Amino acid sequence: MNLHEYQAKTLFKEYDIPTTNFVVVDSHDDVENKVQQLKTNKWVAKAQVHAGGRGKAGGVKVLDSIEEIETFVKYWIGKNLITYQTDEIGQPVSTILVEECTNIIKELYLGIVIDRSSQSIVVMASPDGGVDIEAIAENSPERIFKVPIDLIAGPKREDALFLAKGLALSDEQVEQFVKIFNNLIQLFIDKDLALVEINPLIIDESKKLKCLDGKINVDSNALYRQQDILKMRDTSQEEERELKASEWDLNYIALDGNIGCMVNGAGLAMGTMDIIKSSGGLPANFLDVGGSVNKESVSEAFKIILSDKKVKAILINIFGGIVKCDVVAEGIIKAVEEVGVNIPVIVRLKGNNSEKAQILLETSSLNIISESDLSKAALKAVELSR
Ligand code: GDP
Ligand code: MN
User: What is the mean pLDDT of the segment spanning 36-40?
Assistant: 94
Whether 32 is catalytic? no
Question: At the fourth CATH level, which superfamily is domain 21-101?
Answer: ATP-grasp fold, A domain (3.30.1490.20)
Please indicate whether residue 257, judged by its CB atom, sits closer than 6 Å to ligand 1: no
Please indicate whether residue 129, judged by its CB atom, sits closer than 6 Å to ligand 1: no
321 closest CA partner among 288, 344, 346? 288
Side-chain-facing half-sphere of 371: CA atoms under 13 Å: 17
Nearest-atom number in ligand 1 for the CA of 104 is: 26
Nearest-atom number in ligand 1 for the CA of 215 is: 4
Contact 65, 141 (CB under 8 A): no
**Least distant ligand from the CA of 60:** 1
User: What is the mean pLDDT of the segment spanning 249-253?
Assistant: 91
Atom 9 of ligand 1 has which residue's CA nearest to it?
55
The answer to whether 1-19+103-238 and 21-101 have equal CATH topology is: no
How far is residue 314 from each of residues 39, 214, 346, measured CA to CA in Å? 58, 39, 6
Rounded to whole angstroms, how far apart are CA atoms 318 and 20? 53
Contact 191, 220 (CB under 8 A): no
**Cα 209 to ligand 2 centroid, rounded to whole Å:** 15
Which residues, at least 6 apart from 93, have a Cβ–Cβ distance to it below 8 Å? 47, 48, 49, 59, 76, 77, 78, 79, 80, 81
Q: Report the CATH architecture of 239-385.
A: 3-Layer(aba) Sandwich (3.40)
Residue 35 pLDDT greater than 90, yes or no: yes
How far is residue 39 from each of residues 21, 43, 73, 99, 100, measured CA to CA in Å? 9, 10, 19, 10, 7
- Probe ligand 1: pick from 84, 104, 204, max atoms within 8 Å of CB? 104
Range 1-19+103-238 has CATH code 3.40.920.10:
no
Helix (H), strand (E) at residue 244? helix 240-247
pTM, entire model: 0.86
Handedness of CA 232, 209, 189, 135 (dihedral sign): positive
Contact 349, 329 (CB under 8 A): yes
Please indicate whether residue 47, judged by its CB atom, sits closer than 6 Å to ligand 1: no
**Least distant ligand from the CA of 202:** 1
162 closest CA partner among 174, 176, 172? 174
**Least distant ligand from the CA of 61:** 1
User: What is the mean pLDDT of the segment spanning 211-215?
Assistant: 98
Side-chain-facing half-sphere of 299: CA atoms under 13 Å: 14
Q: List, for residues 327-374, the tens digit of each pLDDT value.
A: 989 988 888 888 888 899 999 999 999 999 989 988 887 778 888 899
Please indicate whether residue 213, judged by its CB atom, sits closer than 6 Å to ligand 1: yes
Residue 146 pLDDT greater than 80, yes or no: yes
Nearest-atom number in ligand 1 for the CA of 199 is: 8
User: What is the mean pLDDT of the segment spanning 115-134?
Assistant: 92
Please indicate whether residue 107, judged by its CB atom, sits closer than 6 Å to ligand 1: yes
One-letter amino acid at 211 equals C
Please indicate whether residue 200, judged by its CB atom, sits closer than 6 Å to ligand 1: yes
Spell out the domain ranges in the chain. Answer: 1-19+103-238, 21-101, 239-385
User: Could you give the 3-state DSSP secondary structure of residue 84?
Assistant: coil
pLDDT score at 366: 78
The long-range contacts involving 270-275, CB below 8 angstroms and separated by at least 24 positions, are 272/315, 272/317, 272/374, 272/378, 275/374, 275/375, 275/378
Averaged pLDDT of the chain: 94
Confidence band (pLDDT; 50, 70, 90) for 79? very high
Atom 7 of ligand 1 has which residue's CA nearest to it?
213
Residue 377 pLDDT greater than 90, yes or no: yes
